[in-house]
A and B are shown apart, each in its own frame.
Chain A
């Protein structure tokens, strides 16, 4: 009998394809939104986790000035220089150190030019950033010491300036300085904020300081910790060392900051999770609204089908059977809507993950939950109309025009 009712419900739904679709549109959109939000949220969490893992050993970033608290003090805080970076490399918990001297410049090669971020550093930069070369070589110690005019390109810069051609040995011009390309970095993709990490050009730190910036400042120092050192130890040792080196007295505030990149990534992950659950909650509300839509149409349908209900009662249906029929119809509708919504949501999430270049990470429990939830929506919002159908007086129902 139940199977018969389900078959009957399918027949009724197929007979009114357009109306059935419009009825469940709310549930389709609700389920699709929840699935898309959760899937994209998981994908971007995975992408953050992946970029943390790509950092390799734990990396601290040291900058002059305090950034997080109070009024910005960075402007008058003493700068770091290359000697500070060298000194940090002597600490017991530190594996490698890479200074960054940054400069935004337009790079010209032949007819092509590219505005990019120049990072002046040492060969250790590639170790600290866990960033392999795609071709060519990194700077030699001699080139770093001498401040030679050589550079290593990020993939985006390479593509802009040289297309698919071989850039090794070519010459670039940066602010009047001729510079030979000696290597190309492997592609790294988008960073945690979606920025293009491959839009970069590496040069020896001294070269950038002398020829582009005209000073001896270092913007930041990346410190890779040894495997056995915890980040707390690392942060403490680096801070204590720098306070002493920069002669900061007891009770005085640090005039530099040490950022633990893993910590930072965890915070980012946390923000991500909060945003995902917030958006999912909004999506869940739209699912509720979808359920009310089903109730609305089912109520109209009960009025429209009053005579049919009368006929069924006259030929011997019990009111329980009429209730069951309308309830099953609502559940079948909303389950179909749920299935459609899952398909649409996964499709949307897939498109989104391709667009944002994050992993496509569907979650089976969430899909199952959305499916069950849409069935529950059918039962809850189908019950009221079904009950009013079952309570019809057969005589009145048969007389209804």
Chain B
């Protein structure tokens, strides 16, 4: 797609403004950053700092009001809704705080979901979904409903779903927010392993220092600005 030197994710003076006049809120106020392929980046910041907005823009769920967002060298703001859906389908995987699994739908079918939209034949879908569940340590739980799984297991299913689409980037929005500290560390070790062994770029929003410590780089947002951007020695 792009020259190897181009960063995977690049913001150039990105602004995101909600509302107009008195009610105007500048969620992002001129942010520039770049993330290279294979990085594990944690984004921190108080609520209202713009970290979630940044995440939504990276995830092609939202568009900057001004400035450029380039994904693998391609300007995303020029893409149509459908083109951004295709980008999500082929390059991005999402992991949410609330897991966001389909209720009354087995783990296997949940993991299959992105593969249905990729148009894979049934057999291949099943095989890849099983492989993804095995990677997150859930072999044998394929037929369980989300309600039959613990929070940690549900988040593993969600990670398997993100993984099944063979993404370049996994975007994790407070992935441990609903988990106890033991499960949290297990999930973080899983994400770290995927980053190291599969070479998947991971961008994670969190407000917990010890969770952010698993990343190799820390971005801190304050009032819509990127306040700090520091590399760190990942724990574990």
Report A's interface with B, CB cutoff 8 A.
1, 4, 8, 15, 307-308, 310-321, 394-395, 398
Chain B residues whose C-beta falls within 8 Å of the C-beta of A318 in the assembled complex: 81-82, 85-86
Establish whether residues B81 and A315, one from each chain, have CB atoms under 8 Å apart when the complex forms.
no
**Bound state CA distance, A220 and B104, in angstroms?**
77
Q: With A and B bound together, what is the CA distance between A319 and B118 in angstroms?
A: 14
Count residues on chain B whose CB falls below 8 Å from chain A CBs. 26
A314 touches B62 (CB 8 A): no
Taking CB atoms, residues of chain B closer than 8 Å to A394 are 61
Please state if A311 and B90 are interface contacts (CB–CB under 8 Å).
no
Cβ proximity bits B74-96 to A, threshold 8 Å, 1 near / 0 not: 00000001100110111010101
Chain A, interface SS category: helix
Set of chain A residues within 8 Å of B104, measured between Cβ atoms: 15
Whose C-beta in chain B lies nearest to the C-beta of A3? B122
Given A310-B100, A395-B62, decide whether A315 and B86 contact each other with a Cβ distance below 8 A: no
B138 is an interface residue with CB less than 8 A from chain A = no
By beta carbon, the residue of chain B nearest A320 is: B82
Whether A316 pairs with B90 at a CB distance below 8 angstroms is yes
Q: Which 8 A/B pairs are nearest by Cβ-Cβ distance?
A: A316-B89, A315-B114, A318-B85, A316-B88, A318-B82, A316-B117, A394-B61, A314-B94
Using CB atoms, name the residue of chain B closest to A322. Answer: B85
Q: Is B116 at the interface (CB under 8 A from chain A)? A: yes
A312 touching B81, Cβ below 8 Å: no
B85 and A307: CB pair below 8 A? no
Say whether A315 contacts B165, CB under 8 Å.
yes
Which one, A4, A15, A313, A395, contacts B56 given CB within 8 A? A395
Most-contacted residue by chain B among A310, A313, A318, A319 (CB, 10 A): A318
Query: Which of chain A's residues has its CB closest to B90's CB?
Result: A316
Query: What would 10 A/B residue contacts be, using CB atoms closer than 8 Å?
Result: A1-B119, A8-B116, A311-B113, A313-B61, A314-B88, A315-B117, A316-B85, A316-B117, A317-B89, A319-B82
**Cβ of B74 to closest chain A Cβ, rounded Å:** 16
C-alpha gap A398/B99 in the complex (Å): 11
Bound Cα distance A315, B117 (Å): 8
Take A395-B56, A395-B62 as given contacts and tell me if A317 and B100 are in contact as well, using a CB distance cutoff of 8 Å.
Answer: no
Chain B residues in 8 Å Cβ range of A308: 102
Whether A4 lies near B116 (C-beta < 8 A) is: yes
Min C-beta distance of B101 to chain A, whole Å: 8
B82 x A315 contact (CB < 8 A): no
Pair B119/A398 contact, Cβ less than 8 Å: no
| Given A314-B88, A316-B86: A307 in contact with B114 (beta carbons within 8 A) | no
9 additional A-B residue pairs with CB within 8 Å, beyond A317-B85, A398-B96: A1-B119, A310-B100, A311-B102, A314-B94, A316-B85, A316-B88, A318-B82, A321-B117, A398-B100
* CB of B140 to closest CB in A, whole Å: 23
B59 interfacial by beta-carbon distance below 8 Å:
yes
- A interface footprint on B105-142 (CB within 8 Å = 1, 0 otherwise): 00000000110111100000000000000000000000
Q: Nearest Cβ in chain B — how far from A323, in angstroms? A: 12
Most buried by B among A4, A311, A321: A311
Whether A316 lies near B81 (C-beta < 8 A) is no
Partner of A313, one of B62, B85, B90, B119: B85
Whether the pair A315, B96 counts as a contact (CB closer than 8 A) is no
Complex contact B100–A307 (CB within 8 A)? yes
CB closest chain-A residue, reference B62: A395
Whether the Cβ atoms of B117 and A311 lie closer than 8 Å is no
B225 at the interface (CB under 8 A from A): no
Is B161 located at the chain interface by the 8 A CB criterion?
yes
Contacts of A315 in B (CB 8 A): 88-89, 94, 113-114, 117, 161, 165
A362 to B81 Cα, complex, angstroms: 50
Contact A316 B61 (CB under 8 A): no
Contact A314 B117 (CB under 8 A): no
Contacts of B119 on A, CB cut-off 8 Å? 1
Give the Cβ gap from B65 to chain A, nearest Cβ, in Å. Answer: 15
Give A308 Cβ to nearest chain B Cβ, in Å: 6
Q: Are A395 and B61 in contact (CB under 8 A)?
A: yes
Within 8 A of A (CB), among B130-169: 161, 165
| A319–B117 touching, CB < 8 Å | no
A310: B residues at CB distance < 8 A = 100
With a CB–CB cut-off of 8 A, which chain B residues contact A312?
Answer: 113, 117
A387 vs B215: C-alpha distance when bound (angstroms): 41
Q: What residue in chain A is nearest B82 (Cβ atoms)?
A: A318
CA of A394 to CA of B63, assembled, Å? 12
CA–CA, A318 to B82, complex, Å?
Answer: 5
> How far does the Cβ of A101 sit from chain B's closest Cβ, in whole Å?
78
Residues of chain A contacted by B94 (CB below 8 angstroms) = 314-315
Within the complex, what minimum Cβ distance (angstroms) separates B124 from chain A? 13
B208 smallest CB distance to A (angstroms): 21
* Known contacts A307-B100, A398-B100: A314-B59 contact under CB 8 Å: yes
Q: CA A318 – CA B88 in complex, angstroms?
A: 10
Please, which residues of chain A bring their CB within 8 A of the CB of B61?
A: 313-314, 394-395, 398
Chain A residues closer than 8 Å to B116, beta-carbon distance: 4, 8
A398 to B94 Cα, complex, angstroms = 11
Report yes or no: A316 in contact with B118, Cβ–Cβ below 8 A: yes
Q: CA–CA, A394 to B96, complex, Å?
A: 13
CB distance from A321 to the nearest CB of B (A): 7
Shortest C-beta distance, A64 to chain B (Å), equals: 79
